């Protein structure tokens, strides 16, 4: 198989210096990329800014903004068998990016925000016979929100995790299908969980896609 994997955060700039982002380390996405390569598959890794070295033998594309990630993924999904969307993309961006640097004035400022491109939803709309696995990082009503994400974005499987795993070397996840059933609960290092997630995909999703 050739698998598209997204990893890391994205950035949305307020001005030429400051940006909105999140604390995603990219560890889970990069661990999955390595697991996929070790299993003998091909990887196209699209990554936001992280302090990690891409695995050898993968096709690597570095991006920064959500729009850049969307464009890189849409272009390359056409030649893939499936996608594992791990990246923690920004959901909002400023309507207008300010040129230069916003100066302090002693007063408050208001910045109008708009939604960014929904990368996973677009891949879900385009999937055809391919399979789509999404990650859902949820703090409240976790399982209900993860299931809503799976259905809204046309995923075959959603991997639910919690904000506490951001930046951690370990993780705990649930694999949830379209019926809302928890198919598997996995805990351990991100490398171990990545291998287990891939095992499940190989045995189930990739055969039914």
Residues 50 and 25 sit within 8 Å (Cβ to Cβ): yes
Catalytic residues: 22
Angstrom distance (rounded) from CA 62 to CA 186? 29
Q: What are phi and psi of 208, to 5 degrees?
A: -100, -5
Angstrom distance (rounded) from CA 185 to CA 167? 20
Angstrom distance (rounded) from CA 100 to CA 69? 24
List the beta bridge partners of residue 4.
44, 83
């Amino acid at each position: 198989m050739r698998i598209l994997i997204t990893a890391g955060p994205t950035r949305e700039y307020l001005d030429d210096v400051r940006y909105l982002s999140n604390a995603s380390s990219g560890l889970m996405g990069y661990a999955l990329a390595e697991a996929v390569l070790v299993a003998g598959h091909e990887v196209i890794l699209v990554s936001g800014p992280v302090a990690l070295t891409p695995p050898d033998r993968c096709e690597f594309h570095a991006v920064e903004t959500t729009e850049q990630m969307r464009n890189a993924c849409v272009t390359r999904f056409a030649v893939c068998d499936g996608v594992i969307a791990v990246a923690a993309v920004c959901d909002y961006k400023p309507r207008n990016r300010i040129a230069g640097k916003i100066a302090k004035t002693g007063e408050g400022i208001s910045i109008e925000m708009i939604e960014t491109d929904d990368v996973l939803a677009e891949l879900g709309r385009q999937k055809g016979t391919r399979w789509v696995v999404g990650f859902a990082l949820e703090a409240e009503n976790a399982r209900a929100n993860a299931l809503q994400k799976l259905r809204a974005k046309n995923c075959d499987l959603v991997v639910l995790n919690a904000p506490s795993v951001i930046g951690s070397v370990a993780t705990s996840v649930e694999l949830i299908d379209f019926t809302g059933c928890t198919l598997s609960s996995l805990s351990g290092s991100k490398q171990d969980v990545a291998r287990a997630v891939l095992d499940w995909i190989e045995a189930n999703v990739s055969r039914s896609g």
